[in-house]
């Protein structure tokens, strides 16, 4: 795991976009994000159990598994800023990927996850995802409840979403 401020420069989303300014574990935890490196699947199962997760799936995001056109569409869709109404865990099984999350000041923090990295993202945080320039992420997605897994794209409606409001209250209280 490596975290830094996104450079906001134009160019392919899959490039690192590293501004050179690192983000600390403390900054991430203040946003409600937890991260671990868990090479043992049993540890991931234990984390899921402790946090009350019932569902999981595995996804391989690559042109080889999805087909080139579907892959490009998926990568674009994941990069559309959104939130979920439930906490979610992402466990990278192979390859790597970037999660961008919004800071308190509404800037992008980029989190690079590699094999065996785990991230717990709180409900209501605005985020987006992309593969890197190797175009390959194999990940386990763990979620508590099926319907709440739906991505809600940022807009006037999500600003009024109760999970969003709850998250902002938590985040601003933690500062």
* Site residues (vs ligand KMT, CB under 6 A): 78, 88, 90, 97, 129, 137, 139, 141
Q: Closest CB to ligand KMT among 21 and 73?
A: 73
DSSP annotation of 86: S
- Taking the complex as a whole, the smallest distance from the CB of residue 93 to ligand KMT amounts, in Å, to 10
Q: How far is the CB of 20 from ligand KMT (least distance, A)?
A: 25
- Nearer residue to ligand KMT within complex by CB, 21 or 155: 155
State the SS3 of 11-53.
CCCCCCCEEEEECCHHHHHHCCCEEEECCCHHHHHHHHHHCCC
In the complex, least distance from residue 137 CB atom to ligand KMT, rounded to whole angstroms: 5
Name the residue nearer to ligand KMT (CB basis): 21 or 134.
134
Q: How many other β-carbons are positioned within 10 Å of the β-carbon of residue 60? A: 14
Least CB distance to ligand KMT at residue 10 (A): 22
Shortest distance, position 170 Cβ to ligand KMT, whole Å: 19
- Residue 23 or 111: which CB sits closer to ligand KMT? 111
Contacts of residues 63-68 at CB distance under 8 Å and 24 or more positions apart, as own/partner, are 63/135, 64/136
> Residue 72 region, left (φ>0) first, then alpha (ψ -120 to 50), else beta?
alpha
Which of residues 5 and 86 has its CB atom nearest to ligand KMT in the complex?
86
Cβ count near 70 (within 10 Å):
11
d(CA 101, CA 91): 17
Report the residue closest to ligand KMT, judged by CB: 129
């Amino acid at each position: 795991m490596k975290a830094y401020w996104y450079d906001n420069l134009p160019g392919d989303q899959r490039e690192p976009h590293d501004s050179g300014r690192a983000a600390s574990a403390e900054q991430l935890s203040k946003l409600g994000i937890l991260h671990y490196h868990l090479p043992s699947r049993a540890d991931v199962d234990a984390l899921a159990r402790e946090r009350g997760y019932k569902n999981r799936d595995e996804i391989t995001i690559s042109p080889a598994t999805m087909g080139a056109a579907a892959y490009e569409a998926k990568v674009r869709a994941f990069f559309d800023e959104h939130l979920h109404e439930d906490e979610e865990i992402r466990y990278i099984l192979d390859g790597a990927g970037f999660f961008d999350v919004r800071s308190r000041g509404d800037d992008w923090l980029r989190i690079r996850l590699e094999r065996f990295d785990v991230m717990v993202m709180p409900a209501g945080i605005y985020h987006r995802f992309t593969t890197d320039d190797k175009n390959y992420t194999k990940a386990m997605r763990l979620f508590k409840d099926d319907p709440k897994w739906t991505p809600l794209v940022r807009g006037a409606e999500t600003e009024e979403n109760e999970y969003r409001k709850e998250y902002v209250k938590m985040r601003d209280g933690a500062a």
